[in-house]
């Protein structure tokens, strides 16, 4: 079978590898139909993802049909449409023991720490497989994962009806956070430097947009909140500077959510946190979000089709990566079809 392998930084190829075989009673073999290219896949490709090792079959946003099941599998059957949660945890460490398996001390992500789903077939543990109950569009099955990130951020920040939220960054993840926050009845402001992305944010329901290349975000936040500052700030730009800005833009008693994996430090004064009694929240991957995201896709309260801007057959991974990197004004989620 064919798979997409990053051999080393800046070298990606379609390789022939052995089709996986069921070996454990709880194994599920998936025939992949679609995958979303993530910024972290680009990071593995260009060598900037600190978690990556090479060579690696990439892809952590993928879904498809159940092709074969181990003898002990009971939650899915052959032919089911499914999405795969890429988070693999031990179940025994402290984080797992208190219900935070998404930050397991020996966490592995399928497609990052181990070979992933950009492959014609992939074998995964039953517990990572989540089924659709309708004939949902098969090119969108791979988009449950990015929406699970958006849902996790909303869960972590306890975003609810009536909340005011600033999302810094209108990239794919910013958009999933926006869609989930709007589905919960929050009022959402989105900032970015790419005006085309801000137009898309408006189309997805943003209540206000801020082009930070021409506008002062602090003024806009104060207008939007009657001078109080923003109750919830989510930094999806993930730069040392934007983390500092999030702290400044948050209201007293506000929550600030960070999702970045960069190790460069920010300069933040403790007084700025103490005086406003801010809650600073990390949000990583997802915890039990797959079923809710799938239900929301099926009932139409979340819209993965609005995130998809291009589709490429998987053999054209090089063109797809080039397109994604070169055209942030045009692309949000580039979907590979298998
Ligand atoms: Mn992703």
Ligand 1 centre distance from Cα of residue 299 (Å): 23
Ligand 1 centre distance from Cα of residue 268 (Å): 28
Ligand 1 centre distance from Cα of residue 330 (Å): 18
Query: For a pLDDT cut of 90, what percent of the chain falls above it?
Result: 97
* pTM, rounded to two decimals: 0.97
Q: State whether the Cα torsion 153-246-334-38 is positive or negative.
A: negative
Domains of the chain from N-terminus onward: 2-131+303-337 (3.90.180.10), 149-282 (3.40.50.720)
85-94 burial, b if ≥16 CB within 10 A, otherwise e? bbbbbeeebe
Ligand 1 centre distance from Cα of residue 150 (Å): 10
- pLDDT at residue 26 greater than cutoff 90: yes
Ligand 1 centre distance from Cα of residue 37 (Å): 7
Ligand 1 centre distance from Cα of residue 107 (Å): 16
Q: How does DSSP assign 194-262, residue by residue? A: -HHHHHHHHHTT-SEEEETTTS-HHHHHHHHTTTS-EEEEEE-S--HHHHHHHHHHEEEEEEEEE----
pLDDT in tens, 240-270: 999 999 999 999 999 999 999 888 999 999 9
Ligand 1 centre distance from Cα of residue 155 (Å): 18
Average of per-residue pLDDT across 67-78: 98
Ligand 1 centre distance from Cα of residue 176 (Å): 11
pLDDT, residue 220, reads: 98
Arithmetic mean of pLDDT over the chain: 97
pLDDT, residue 52, reads: 84
How does residue 126 score in pLDDT terms, banded at 50, 70 and 90?
Answer: very high
């Amino acid at each position: 079978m064919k798979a997409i392998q990053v051999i080393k930084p800046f070298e990606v190829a379609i390789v022939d590898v052995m089709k996986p075989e069921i070996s454990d009673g709880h194994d599920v073999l998936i025939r992949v139909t679609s995958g979303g290219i993530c910024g972290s896949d680009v990071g593995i490709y260009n060598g900037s993802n600190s978690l990556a090792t090479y060579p690696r079959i990439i892809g952590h946003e993928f879904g498809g049909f159940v092709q074969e099941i181990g003898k002990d599998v009971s939650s899915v059957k052959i032919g089911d449409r499914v999405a795969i949660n890429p988070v693999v945890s031990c179940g025994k460490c402290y984080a797992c023991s208190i219900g935070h398996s998404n930050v397991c001390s020996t966490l592995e992500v399928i497609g990052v720490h181990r070979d992933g789903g950009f492959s014609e077939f992939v074998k995964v543990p039953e517990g990572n497989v989540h089924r659709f109950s309708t004939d949902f569009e098969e090119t969108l099955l791979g988009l449950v994962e990015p929406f699970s990130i958006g849902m996790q951020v909303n869960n972590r920040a306890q975003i609810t009806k009536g909340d005011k939220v600033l999302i810094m960054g209108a990239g794919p993840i910013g958009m999933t956070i926006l869609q989930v926050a709007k589905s919960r009845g929050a009022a959402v402001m989105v900032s970015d430097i790419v005006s085309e992305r801000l137009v898309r944010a408006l189309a997805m329901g943003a209540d206000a947009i801020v082009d930070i290349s021409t506008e002062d975000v602090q003024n806009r936040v104060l207008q939007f909140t009657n001078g109080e500052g923003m109750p919830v700030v989510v930094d999806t730009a993930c730069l040392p500077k934007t983390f500092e800005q999030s702290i400044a833009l948050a209201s007293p008693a506000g929550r600030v959510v960070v999702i970045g994996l960069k190790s460069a430090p920010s300069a933040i004064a403790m007084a700025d946190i103490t005086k406003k009694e801010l809650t600073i929240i990390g949000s990583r991957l997802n915890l039990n979000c797959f079923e809710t995201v799938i239900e929301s896709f099926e009932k139409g309260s979340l819209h993965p089709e609005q995130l998809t801007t291009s589709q490429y057959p998987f053999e054209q991974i090089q063109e797809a990566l080039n397109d994604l990197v070169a055209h942030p004004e045009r692309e949000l989620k580039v979907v590979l079809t298998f």
